[in-house]
Amino acid sequence: MNLLDKAKSLVPVLSYDMHKGDCGRLGFFGGCEEYTGAPYFAAISALKLGADLSHIYCEKDAAPIIKSYSPDLIVHPYLRSLENTSGLPENHIDFIHQKIIGTTSKQHAFSIGSGLGRDPNIHKSIALMISHAKNANVPIVLDADSIYIVAQNPQLVSGHKLAILTPNVNEFKTLATALGIDSKPIVENVEKVAKELNGVTIVLKGKQDIITNGISTIYCNQTGGLKRCGGQGDVLSGAIATFLGWGICKSQKRWISEQEISSEELPLLAAYSGCKVTRTASHLTFEKYGLSMQTSNLLEFLGEALTLSFNKPCKL
């Protein structure tokens, strides 16, 4: 079976026997005073593709704004910047962490980093969540400032075979330099970074997306849009998290599927699928909007992009 057929098998086939959550419950970590759009784009993209539930864990002051974007999102104002810790116990980082993981036990995958910012207090909470995902073997997508956190402490994610990092060129340079690897964005160096992190999957975003776990390497050359507006990387994070979550749901027999996907295959397939769908949606959006294209426009094309990418009926 070829790559596309295997990826296609991750897409749910709906039936009347299914329940809320069977198509994925996802957790998105990000959103601060400056950046409220990024976590929205990541989380709403998951819903637009077909996930059932998207939870956002953001800084307290960002929550009301993100809530106002959509009633379809579940927004938890649990992360706290340094200036927002008054009234919390002295061990507030552990207090916040326990509060968060008390709500994540049924979630199938996490996406961390969209609109996260650089507040050191928030980064402490996020480091604990990355470690928790590794220890609990929860699939995780790491993007933007969460890659900076990993660069500071690679052991947080090293060896987590269900982790996917999605750096752009500059984020890759930061990560590679921290690992003592040549930061030139070529496939050999991307493979070295994945190997150094003991099997983590890397998606280097660019003209073509390079996807590797250090052993197997694939490429996504799907035509995308020419407009490089901000936020498309957040859509990609949401898309990859969706496919990761579907992989877990599939393994739990949430829907009828004859094709088996191993845990070793899942990160590569989820990354490829997310890249393919996001690029297709970007192309469709650019064809309609041209230079005026914004990421908010891209959201309307995600469902069509999923259908075009996999040509698969969504129901029995």
Which residue ranges make up the annotated binding site?
115, 168-174, 205-209, 224-234
Report how far residue 306's alpha carbon sits from residue 48's, in angstroms, rounded to the nearest whole number.
10
The bridge status of strand 217-220 relative to strand 209-212 is antiparallel
CA angle 160, 165, 169 (to 5 degrees): 150
Q: Which two tokens stand for residue 147?
A: 């890659």
**What is d(CA 74, CA 27) in angstroms, rounded to the nearest whole number?**
9
- The whole-angstrom separation of Cα 183 and Cα 206 is 15
The 3-state secondary structure of the chain, one letter per residue: CCHHHHHHCCCCCECCCCCCCCCCEEEEECCCCCCCHHHHHHHHHHHHHCCCEEEEEEEHHHHHHHHHHCCCCEEEEEECCHHHCCCCCCCHHHHHHHHHHCCCCCCCEEEECCCCCCCHHHHHHHHHHHHHHHHHCCCEEECCHHHHHHHHCHHHCCCCCCEEECCCHHHHHHHHHHCCCCCCCCHHHHHHHHHHCCCCEEEECCCCEEEECCCCEEEECCCCCCCCCCCHHHHHHHHHHHHHHHHHHHHCCCCCCCCCCCCCCHHHHHHHHHHHHHHHHHHHHHHHHHHHCCHHHHHHHHHHHHHHHHCCCCEC
Residues annotated within the binding site for ATP are 205-209, 224-233
8 A C-beta contact, residue 142 and residue 42: no
